[in-house]
Chains A and B, each alone.
Chain A
Amino acid sequence: MQTNATGISSCLGCGGQVTPNDRFCGTCGTFLADDVVKPTGDAFATLTPSLVFYFVTLALLAAYKLTDIFPTDFEGFLGVTIIDTLIVVLFWIITRKDLAPLFSLKGIRISILFLTIAGALLGCLMVSVVADFINVSLFETTFTDSWLFAETSSPFLYAVIFTCVQPAIFEEVAFRGFLFSNVQQVTTATGAVYITAFIFGIIHLSVISMIWLVPLGLIFGMLRVRYNTIWYGIVGHFTYNLGFVLLEYVQTLG
């Protein structure tokens, strides 16, 4: 719809006069709304990038956790982490223009950042109590992978880099970044929050841990929608994971 100086509009299709309340041109029947109906298209065609990313990452992580393809020592872990990171970086580069606004530091509020950190620490404490209880009573296994770093020159530093910094940045860029944006093309923002939270949970390949991973993904997704930034998610994710490393560090000291 084109509007001239006198406020009378004309239809772009036929030039016929239309008033601001018109939804269709009375002369030719053309739809006038600015938000023309999104072409429906095939849902799977739109979601192809997300599905490719998800199943490639799933194949990598599942091969590492469930088969003998990768060595179970630190070098095997390092190799998988590097491949995983490169896959995220590849998708990050492809979608960098869409994701750029999410990295803007403008509008970041210290109060919300503080609440995110406090909430992440509280969540970490609650989950560690629940997880310890479940693991001890059901599986008799330890919860974290810190033994991986025991042989390295600085176990604590390596644990922080590989279990706090790396997941906080690259999992958030994937699940609250490009996967979220892609899924949002075919559903509402709320729908995208729930879908990405579930797949964030299941890709950790532990059904039990979905009890806390899905709510965690929901919170980070809601923060992304509410404030249109990925920083609260990154900071929250880092703090949450750091909490586990610190808890374990304190336990080994004591």
Chain B
Amino acid sequence: MDAVSQDTFAVCEHCNAINGPLNKYCSQCSYPIRGSDEEKASFRLTVSSRRRFLGDAMDKVKSARNAILGLAALFFIFGLFVGFGMDDFATMIVNLILCVIYLVLAVWCNQNPFGAILTAFIIYLTLIVVNMLIDPATLFQGIIIKVVIIAWLAKGIRSAHEAKGYLKELENLRAVPVDAD
């Protein structure tokens, strides 16, 4: 019995699925169970490169989340400054609400990074447009920081989107990274 199953069935080295006698590729993960060493190496390379891409994308997502937290801190500090420094309590309340919104987005970033960073990005651009129309001079105040933040968040949106693609691809190859979150 053992000898027969050795000849006809093959356990996949990659995902441990049992495959029929005719399969060159594993029917569950597409690992080339009866392929050449080159083909096996190529499969492993695909998996490891996708894991690396996923890791890189997740790093950029975490970085964008830090940008959102940084913006929350900026709104908080600016709010307190105009409130208690310049007695402008209406502007203070507006900035404190923005601070809370960005904190909510940073928390939501753990569940849906793409949605949270996209929302933070749109709200930030909206604030720049609104301030520019109220006072055109504000557009150029801290313009470098503004451009950096916009590029930072845009990178995060792209990376969050790509990360979903890599994760899906790894799931299909039955190779979900253990530390994926």
Contacts and interface: CB of A to CB of B under 8 A. Distances in A.
A208 interface: yes
B18 to A, nearest CB: 11
B23 A27 contact: yes
B130 interface: yes
Contacts of B108: 194
A203 B161 contact: no
Contact of A40 (B112, B126, B165): B165
B66 interface: no
A199 B122 contact: yes
A188 to B, nearest CB: 7
A47 B29 CA distance: 32
Given A23-B27, A26-B27, 6 more contacts: A24-B30, A37-B172, A43-B118, A138-B89, A195-B115, A202-B123
A187 B94 CA distance: 29
Interface in B14-41: 19-20, 22-30, 32
Interface of B: 19-20, 22-30, 32, 89-90, 93-94, 97-98, 101, 108, 112, 114-115, 118-119, 122-123, 125-126, 129-130, 133-134, 154, 157-158, 160-162, 164-165, 168-169, 172
Contacts of A24: 25-30
A247 to B, nearest CB: 24
B97 A208 contact: yes
Nearest to B20: A26
Contacts of B134: 66
A54 B119 CA distance: 12
Contact of B32 (A29, A40, A63, A190): A29
Q: Which 4 A-B pairs have the closest CB atoms?
A: A26-B23, A40-B165, A29-B25, A43-B161
Interface in A111-156: 138-139
Of the listed residues A19, A188, A207, the one surrounded by the most CB atoms of chain B closer than 10 A to its CB is: A207
Contacts of B112: 187-188, 190-191, 194
Interface residues of A, number: 49
Contacts of A54: 122
Given A31-B172, A62-B133, A208-B93, A43 B157 contact: yes
Contacts of B27: 18-19, 21-26
Nearest to B10: A26
Contacts of B154: 44
B34 to A, nearest CB: 9
A43 B97 contact: no
B138 to A, nearest CB: 12
Most central of A24, A47, A211 by chain B CB within 10 Å: A24
Contact of B115 (A21, A33, A67, A194): A194
Given A31-B30, A44-B158, A208-B93, A23 B172 contact: yes
A192 B129 CA distance: 24
8 contacts: A23-B30, A23-B172, A24-B27, A29-B25, A37-B169, A42-B161, A194-B115, A210-B101
A243 B58 CA distance: 46
Contacts of A44: 154, 157-158
A186 interface: yes
Given A24-B30, A199-B119, A29 B164 contact: no
A58 B165 contact: no
Interface string A1-26: 00000000000000011110111111
B118 A195 contact: yes
Nearest to A199: B122
A22 B18 CA distance: 11
Given A191-B112, A194-B112, A27 B122 contact: no
A225 B22 CA distance: 45
A195 B119 contact: yes
A69 to B, nearest CB: 9
A198 interface: yes
Contact of A27 (B25, B90, B123): B25
Given A58-B126, A208-B94, A25 B25 contact: yes
